[in-house]
Amino acid sequence: MRSILSLSIICLAVVFFSCQKESKHSGYIDENEALVEPLIEVNGKSRTYNYDFKILEYPNVIGFYYQPTSIAEGLSSVPDKVREAIHLPNVLDLPFTPKTEKANIVTFWNDRNKLIFEIQISYLENTPEYQANNQDFFIISATQLAKNPFINTSADDDPIDNWIKDFNMNGTEDPEGVIIYRKLELTPELPLFFKDWQQNWSTMYAYYSYDSTDNEIMHTSTGAKVYYAWYDGLIFQIGYKFADETIDIEPIVRKIILGE
């Protein structure tokens, strides 16, 4: 009788703790909300996106910002599909030795009540926040975007055709006020866009920085070279600045996105 009673108590305990675990997540609209629970939420307003393409400019979006964390914790705070689609570079392949390696996580809701994740992975030559005094940096930003925005169509308003014209892609001259991109091939079906560093405020590279005084994530901009692409459900925006401007970083960029 005592054995039966002990077994019953154990079974009840298992059921209790199982229900408690399930109830912990029962109030979530999206189960992925649980991923950011270990992070420390801070203030923030602006989101980073490519100013030229403006693909990630969602109207009236409310973002949730989190204190910078380690790259490992940052990757554990995003959905599996996001984590598996980002192939981190070997820091030994970078032309500088990073003294700061960190991740920023920002989330926001789309119009279908799905939580969208953005992760920024930063390798900085020196201080915890990048300073524009010729320090090297390499920053990977990846944001969930299910639909491929770079689909070539036969329509007259095909976005890539318009961008080739508007941005004078692959042009040999630099008309005043026109941003020049190069349209490369990421895969036979998908483009990879590259923009060289230019002395024009409107062409600055946008990234997240943390102001510990105000406990706030800020949207900061600086001059940089930028690669931009969509692949496997993510928009990649990879910006960098090296003292040695002759270094070809494209193989590393391709491996980050394609994993090969």
Number of domains in the chain: 1
Residue 16 forms part of a structural domain = no
CA distance 170 to 181: 6
Residue 1 forms part of a structural domain = no
Residue 109 forms part of a structural domain = yes
Query: Is the C-alpha dihedral spanning 223, 86, 231, 118 positive or negative?
Result: negative
Q: What mean pLDDT comes out for the span 35-58? A: 82
The terminus-to-terminus CA distance of the chain in angstroms comes to 63
Q: What mean pLDDT comes out for the span 163-188? A: 73
Are 67 and 42 in contact, with CB atoms under 8 Å apart?
A: yes
Q: What is the pLDDT of residues 222-257, one digit of tens each?
A: 888 999 999 999 999 999 999 888 889 999 999 999
Q: Give residue 221's pLDDT.
A: 83
Q: Give residue 130's pLDDT.
A: 66
DSSP 212: T
pTM over 0.75: yes
Query: Is the C-alpha dihedral spanning 2, 7, 8, 14 positive or negative?
Result: positive
- A 10 A CB-CB count for 155 gives 8
Q: What is the pLDDT of residues 195-214, one digit of tens each?
A: 887 655 556 788 899 988 99
pLDDT category, 21, cuts 50, 70, 90?
very low
Residue 149 forms part of a structural domain = yes
SS3 call for 227? strand
CA distance 137 to 205: 12
Residue 19 forms part of a structural domain = no
Domain of residue 177 covers: 24-258
